[in-house]
Amino acid sequence: MDISDILKAILSRPTAPFREGHVISTICNLLETGNVAHFQDAAGNLIVGAANEREYRKLVRTRSKEPLRVFIAHMDHPGFHGKAWTKGGELEFTWHGGSPTQHLEGASVWLASRGAFRASGTITRATLITSGKAIQSGTVRIDDPVSRADAQRLFPKAAELFGGFAFREPLWQDGDLLYTKAADDLVGCAAIVTMALASAKKKAAPFLGILTRAEEVGFIGAIAHFELGWLERATRPVLCVSLETSRALPGAEIGKGPVVRLGDRANVFDPGYLRLFTDLAEKKLPGRHQRRIMDLGSCEASAAIAYGFRPIGISVPLGNYHNQSFEGGPDSRGELGPAPEFVHLNDVRGLLDLCRALLIPGLDWTDPWKTKQRQFKKSLKTYRSLLRSKL
Ligand SMILES: [Zn+2]
């Protein structure tokens, strides 16, 4: 299966923080078809590459110079949960995560339940949080009267419904651009699934994928996973790799390749591992990748740092981050209003190339500065006589 098939399967699914069930079931089906071991931890995060906790711990406790590669991506995307029905039959909602901040009233949304219920709606009112940077709450009117009646009858508890911004389709392609309700971070999840399916076939070296829940409200799934302590007392290096889509920036532009992510808004990542990864990216994607701190958002690598790990990151530059119209384009409701997210397919393929490069055995992760030190020593030798000459 090519990554574009996997993107299609995953990106079309509804998702919101704490409501990742549809994405989980789609991914589990793909993994089962491809005979890839997987399971869910106690917090509901999906672990790829081990069938249970025992197998997971065994990978961590295998004595090796080869690091255990742990790829992390999140399955949620900013969205809302139903809260209550108004007397007029509208759905009051609470928003979770980032969002557009303008042109909200009249914007289209999709609604879903944990089961098969789907409907479309329109925002009738929206209130922002105090900082003005995201939606806090609001109301939605379900468009079709039959669905409206069904929704109230089937889901008297409004909290069973959730949703997010809707556009002409859940995803569509225009040239090399993929437009969607949610690229962040289903693209990262699709990359992990693609790698896992390919390596199951080839019986390649094992790696772990941690597909997390509720990243958009502060890496809740990742924190819950690190708290389990399964990665502690490792007998080999652990290389955490955060895979993200991140708001496009100067030097991290859409279509110019994946980004070797040096840090996020909160932290810089591991300099030694980044040194090795930088050289690797230069070799594998010369002139076709970018490199910078992506500091308009924070990511799960920052959670990993707080738990004592040494992460690196890869980002796909993202248009209209969190469905907020920064770059505009089709279906945008105007500046800072709702708009579909978009990514360039070459950037996504490049991310996958970099992930595969990270699996190459024999790279010197335990001493990533060795090559640099050799170069430094050579420079020193060149100038030693001048250094010894009179001041
Ligand atoms: Zn994200």
Ligand 1 centroid to residue 371 C-alpha, Å = 34
- Ligand 1 centre from 159 Cα, in Å? 24
Check residue 304 and give its pLDDT.
Answer: 97
Tell how far the Cα of 315 is from the centroid of ligand 1, in angstroms. 9
Residue type, 205: A
The Cα–Cα gap between 227 and 91 comes to: 36
CA 360–ligand 1 middle distance (angstroms): 26
Nearest to 183 by CA among 321, 293, 289: 321
Structure tokens of 367?
A: 């001493």
The whole-number average pLDDT for the span 352-371 is 95
Q: Are 276 and 365 in contact (CB under 8 A)?
A: yes
Handedness of CA 39, 41, 44, 47 (dihedral sign): negative
pTM of the full predicted structure?
A: 0.96
Whether the CB-CB separation of 187 and 319 falls below 8 Å is answered with no
Query: CA 332, CA 168: separation in Å to the nearest integer?
Result: 11
Distance 77 CA to ligand 1 centre (A): 7
Q: What is the largest CA-CA distance in the chain?
A: 91
What domains are defined for the chain?
A: 3-77+172-370 (3.40.630.10), 80-168 (2.40.30)
Write the CA distances from 380 to 153, 294, 369, 373, integer angstroms.
78, 34, 16, 10
pLDDT digit string, tens, across residues 300-311: 999 999 999 999
Alpha-carbon gap, residue 327 to 336, rounded angstroms = 9
172 C-alpha vs ligand 1 centroid, how far in Å?
Answer: 20
Q: Is residue 334 classed as helix, strand or coil in its secondary structure?
A: coil
Is pLDDT above 90 for 43?
A: yes
Whether the per-residue pLDDT at 203 is higher than 80: the answer is no
Instruction: Compare 242 and 202 and report the one with higher pLDDT.
Output: 242
Residue 321 pLDDT grade (very low, low, confident, very high; cuts 50, 70, 90)? very high
Q: How far is the CA of 186 from the centre of ligand 1 (A)?
A: 8
List, edge to edge, every strand of the sheet that includes 312-318: 38-40, 46-48, 208-212, 68-74, 238-247, 312-318, 259-263, 290-293
Dist. CA 190 → ligand 1 center (Å): 13
| pLDDT, average across residues 14-20 | 98
Contact (CB, 8 A) for 91 and 158: yes
CA–centroid distance, residue 321 to ligand 1 (Å): 9
Q: Is the sign of the CA dihedral 125, 129, 134, 137 positive or negative?
A: negative
**Taking a C-beta distance cutoff of 8 angstroms, is the pair 70, 240 a contact?**
yes
User: Using 50, 70 and 90 to split pLDDT, how confident is the model at 333?
Assistant: very high
Give the tens place of pLDDT for each residue, 185-202. 999 999 999 999 999 888
Q: How many angstroms separate the alpha carbon of residue 391 from the centre of ligand 1?
A: 55
For residues 53-70, give the mean pLDDT: 96
Q: Is the pLDDT of residue 25 over 80?
A: yes
How far does the centroid of ligand 1 lie from the alpha carbon of residue 141, in Å?
Answer: 28
* pLDDT average, residue stretch 321-345: 98
Instruction: State the pairing for strand pair 238-247/68-74.
Output: parallel
Burial environment of residue 376 by CB neighbours within 10 A (0 to 12, 13 to 18, 19 or more): exposed
Joined tokens for residue 269: 């990542």
Distance 242 CA to ligand 1 centre (A): 10
CA 199, CA 36: separation in Å to the nearest integer?
Answer: 9
Q: How far apart are CA 42 and CA 87, in angstroms?
A: 38
Q: How far is the CA of 244 from the centre of ligand 1 (A)?
A: 5
Cα of 245 vs centre of ligand 1, distance in Å, is: 6
pLDDT (tens digit per residue) in 224-236? 999 999 999 999 9
Q: Give the pair of three-digit tokens for residue 168.
A: 């002409």
Tell me, in angstroms, the distance from the centre of ligand 1 to residue 204's CA: 28
For residue 205, the model assigns a pLDDT of 79
Distance 78 CA to ligand 1 centre (A): 9
How close is the Cα of 97 to the center of ligand 1, in Å? 10
| Three-point CA angle 179, 78, 195, nearest 5° | 60
- Sequential DSSP letters for 245-278: EEE-BTTB-TTS--EEEEE-SS-B--HHHHHHHH
CA–CA dist 231, 343 (Å, integer): 32
- Assess contact for 255 and 349: CB atoms under 8 A: no
| 355 Cα–ligand 1 center, Å | 17
Ion ligand 1 — residues with CB under 5 Å?
Answer: 184-185
Q: Please give the structure tokens belonging to residue 230.
A: 């399964």
Mean confidence (pLDDT) of the chain: 97
